[in-house]
Amino acid sequence: MVDYDLMSLLEELREKRPLIHNITNYVVMNFTANTLLAMGASPVMAHSIDEVEEMVSLAGALVINIGTLSQQWLESMLQAGKRANELGVPVILDPVGSGATSFRTHAFRTLVKELKLSVVRGNPSEILSIISEHGKTRGVESAHGAEDALEAAKEVAQEISSVVAITGPVDIVTDGEIIIRCHNGHPLLGLVTGTGCAATAAIAAFNSTTTEALEAATAGLAFFGLAGQLAGAKANSPGSFMIALLDALHDITPQEFQEKARLEEG
């Protein structure tokens, strides 16, 4: 039994409408922004090195996503992340495609080394890539299951004093000691591009309302998974599912979130 006050977290999020600064990839910018708007946060997409320090100073959380990475973007990510660390703004990292190429893998490892991260959210292969040459991906898809990466996630979480979230049919969140599994979700989430990236943004939104990273990661994945679950009850195909997903993110009530989040510790 996981005893989180999810109702209050969602109420606070929607009341405060926190600004979430995203340095994210071209593929998902629109969907990520719509996700944040639907759930009650305020998104901004800013990646220029000329403004990231100023922008992150206005934000409740920073999302770093390496999905369409360049050396220039990596420099912006490091600069924004270091400024966020100075200000106490939580930094959430999504290592999209790490393990697929040496550039992405090196970037992931550099960000982990240089920044104080609140949460790292990835698929199993991406998480494995931080410690192993065996963490190979198929593009941005995982070649492993979540349980395959659990021990690696615990090791990484302890080493960098961060929370690691592994997404899959059952999501797993750990701070290196506590393990929480989230059983919300729907298979159609895997057929709409950007859902993993959007789930990372949802974690960031909740991390702007609570300093407890384990709680924020759990709430973000449970909320996004529940939205997928509700959308899947209304839509049978990816296109209609995507629209229903945005509607569900908007329509879930705090009480419904509390009652329908399917969380298990251990």
Q: Using one digit for the tens of pLDDT, what is the confidence trace for 99-142?
A: 899 999 999 999 999 999 999 999 998 999 887 543 344 444 44
pLDDT tier, 72 (very low <50, low <70, confident <90, very high otherwise): very high
pLDDT score for 145: 58
0.85 exceeded by pTM: yes
Phi, psi for residue 135 in degrees, rounded to 5: -80, 60
3-state secondary structure of 252: coil
**How would you classify the pairing of strands 141-142 and 263-265?**
unpaired
pLDDT score for 139: 40
d(CA 215, CA 31): 24
The helix (H) or strand (E) run that includes residue 171 is: strand 171-174
Phi, psi for residue 156 in degrees, rounded to 5: -65, -45
Amino acid at the residue 75 = E
Closest CA to 28 of 206, 193, 160: 193
d(CA 128, CA 72): 25
Q: What is the mean pLDDT of residues 62-76?
A: 97
pLDDT score for 144: 52
pLDDT score for 146: 64
All domains of the chain, ordered by start, with CATH?
6-265 (3.40.1190.20)
pLDDT tier, 7 (very low <50, low <70, confident <90, very high otherwise): very high
Q: Using one digit for the tens of pLDDT, what is the confidence trace for 189-203?
A: 999 999 999 999 999
Q: What is the mean pLDDT of residues 238-248?
A: 98
The chain-wide mean pLDDT, for the chain, equals 93
